[in-house]
Amino acid sequence: MTRTLTLYSRTGCHLCEQMLAQVAALDLPRDVSLQTVDVDADPELRARFDVDVPVLALDGEILCCHFLDEAELRQALIDG
């Protein structure tokens, strides 16, 4: 079963770019896929996450906003 790590972000956001680079540099388990979603492409997502981007979620559960909480991410990956 593949788990999905989703980064909600927007184009031109330096915090989004920074979080993406940090997550991409991690040694993620093989069963975890990383996807990025542009919140500005979906009015519902933009309304939900507008000033909170970047937002990192694992299987729909929000782990952190604005800055990567690596400890929280690692714990969520362990807890499965």
| pLDDT, tens digit only, all 80 positions of the chain | 899 999 999 999 999 999 999 999 999 999 999 999 999 999 999 999 999 999 999 999 999 999 999 999 999 998 86
The count of structural domains within the chain is: 1
pLDDT at 31: 93
Segments forming the whole domain that contains residue 22 = 3-79
Look up the CATH number of the domain holding residue 43. Answer: 3.40.30.10
Using CA atoms, how far apart are residues 22 and 20, in angstroms rounded to an integer?
Answer: 5
Tell the residue number behind the tokens 């929000």, with chain if given. Answer: 62
Tell the residue number behind the tokens 């906003």, with chain if given. Answer: 65
